[in-house]
């Protein structure tokens, strides 16, 4: 990944689309934002999304700052108005085999590669994605300063949450619909009581400890 294209310094008050506007002024468009959901969970898939926008999305923000109702509304607006969207899901078994860091990078890379519209520049949240033949920038807390990344965070989060609700129907003992596979007291108690299921990441310390006690 490269640094942001040479040009004017981006002001702190430039708003959620300041980076995109700066890149467009330098002729670097389309711009793809990429983000993931589920890195910190001990169950369920790791989901990454890539989004190309050509207009602001009303009410958009980092998915973690939005209520569930607002995320769902933004999801629908993004899907209806984005130039392109791609989503990639990495199952728990692959997260275990690769390790979460490699799985995270691979998910971001796949999401970018699967866009039907080839981006000229990529903005990623936290992790650089190399080997795609386009310049880009890895941004700390990018989902709070880039509209494209915020859009990707919403798509990834809503997609993953919906998948966890479906998994709750298959594995009701773990209450995936409530905690979405993240570590909570209720989830920990369920893992200790029932042992891990097929959707748990066996390399995570709490899951491995519960499995060893069976």
Phi, psi of 136 (to 5 degrees): -170, 180
Residue-level pLDDT at 114: 96
38 domain residue, yes or no: yes
10 domain residue, yes or no: no
Average pLDDT, the chain: 91
Residue-level pLDDT at 14: 57
* The pLDDT of residue 1 is above 90: no
**Confidence class of residue 58 from pLDDT cuts 50, 70 and 90?**
very high
**Confidence class of residue 108 from pLDDT cuts 50, 70 and 90?**
very high
1 domain residue, yes or no: no
157 Cβ contact list (under 8 Å, min separation 6):
37, 47, 63, 64, 71
pTM reported for the whole predicted model: 0.93
186 domain residue, yes or no: no
Domains held by the chain: number: 1
86 domain residue, yes or no: yes
CATH number, domain at 110? 3.30.420.10
pLDDT in tens, 114-149: 999 999 999 999 878 887 778 999 998 888 999 999
72 domain residue, yes or no: yes
189 domain residue, yes or no: no
Domain of residue 50: give its range: 18-167
176 domain residue, yes or no: no
What spatial distance separates the first Cα and last Cα of the chain, rounded to whole Å? 45
């Amino acid at each position: 990944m490269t640094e942001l294209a040479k040009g004017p310094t981006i002001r702190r008050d430039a708003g959620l689309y300041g980076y995109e506007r700066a890149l467009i002024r330098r002729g670097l468009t389309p711009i793809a934002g990429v983000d993931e959901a589920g890195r910190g969970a001990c169950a369920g898939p790791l989901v990454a999304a890539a989004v190309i926008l050509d207009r602001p999305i009303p009410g958009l923000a980092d998915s973690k700052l939005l209520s569930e109702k607002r995320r769902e509304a933004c999801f629908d607006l993004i899907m209806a108005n984005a130039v392109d969207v791609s989503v990639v899901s990495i199952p728990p078994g692959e997260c275990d085999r690769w390790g979460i860091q490699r799985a995270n990078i691979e998910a971001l890379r796949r999401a970018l590669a699967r866009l039907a519209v080839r981006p000229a520049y990529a903005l990623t949240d936290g992790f650089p994605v190399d080997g795609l033949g386009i310049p880009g920038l890895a941004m700390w807390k990018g989902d709070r300063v880039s509209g494209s990344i915020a859009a990707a965070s919403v798509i990834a989060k809503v997609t993953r949450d919906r998948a966890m609700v479906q998994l709750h129907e298959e594995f009701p003992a773990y209450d995936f619909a409530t905690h979405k596979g993240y570590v909570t007291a209720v989830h920990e108690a369920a893992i200790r009581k029932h042992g891990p299921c097929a959707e748990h990441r066996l390399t995570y310390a709490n899951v491995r400890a519960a499995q060893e006690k069976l």
